[in-house]
């Protein structure tokens, strides 16, 4: 990594932590704020490299446990942070049907991991609805999230990246 990539990675880690900390201050729309934080991972891939992005993810995840509430740190580390990297590798296939299938599989693996970790280590996870309804809503919500992330990446590439 050259000095420019290191500096950009440091800025992206800082921005991620600021956004995650904002999620702990503003009690409404935590998922929306986490979505904004997750947008910085694809931007890191575009601006630096996949290796640099993995370091941004690791640094952001570790530091989030020290600077934000543990539930936000877990959500970022177990899904919102890692998904941009997973999306990058899946979308290299350039086959929409396989991409959607692999994205849903990866989402369900990450969702299961999040459910296991949060239900065993945090007392803040109370499910009042049947689990299958939560699972169905999660699939729909994930597809909307993935599409929104794609739109944000496209917006960044078309409107911002050229000028920075």
93 vs 120: CA distance, rounded Å: 35
Transcribe 32-80 into DSSP letters. Answer: HHHHHHHTHHHHHHHHS-HHHHHHHHHHHHHHHHHHS-HHHHHHIIIII
The answer on pLDDT for 31 being more than 70 is yes
- Contacting residues for 45 by C-beta, under 8 A, at least 6 apart: 53, 84, 85, 88
What's the pLDDT score for residue 120? 78
The answer on pLDDT for 96 being more than 90 is yes
Per the document, the length of the chain is: 164
Mean pLDDT across the stretch 128-145? 87
The proportion of the chain whose per-residue pLDDT surpasses 90, expressed as a percent, equals 65
159 vs 164: CA distance, rounded Å: 10
Q: Are 87 and 149 in contact (CB under 8 A)?
A: yes
Mean pLDDT across the stretch 14-36? 89
Mean pLDDT across the stretch 100-113? 94
The answer on pLDDT for 125 being more than 70 is no
Confidence at 114, pLDDT banded by 50, 70, 90:
confident
Cα-only R_g, the chain = 16
pTM: 0.89
Mean pLDDT for the chain overall: 90
């Amino acid at each position: 990594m050259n000095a420019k990539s290191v500096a950009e990675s440091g800025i992206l880690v800082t921005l991620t932590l600021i956004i995650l900390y904002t999620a702990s201050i503003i009690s409404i729309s935590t998922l929306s704020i986490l979505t904004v934080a997750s947008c910085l991972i694809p931007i890191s891939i575009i601006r630096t490299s996949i290796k640099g992005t993995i370091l941004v993810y690791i640094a952001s995840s570790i530091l989030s446990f020290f600077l934000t509430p543990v539930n936000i740190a877990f959500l970022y580390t177990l899904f919102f942070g890692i998904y941009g990297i997973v999306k990058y590798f899946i979308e290299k296939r350039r086959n929409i049907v396989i991409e959607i299938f692999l994205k849903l599989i990866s989402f369900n693996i990450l969702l299961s991991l999040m459910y296991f970790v949060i239900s065993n280590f945090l007392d803040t996870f109370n499910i009042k609805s049947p689990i299958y309804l939560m699972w169905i809503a999660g699939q729909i919500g994930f597809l909307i999230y993935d599409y929104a992330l794609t739109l944000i990446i496209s917006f960044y590439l078309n409107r911002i990246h050229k000028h920075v």
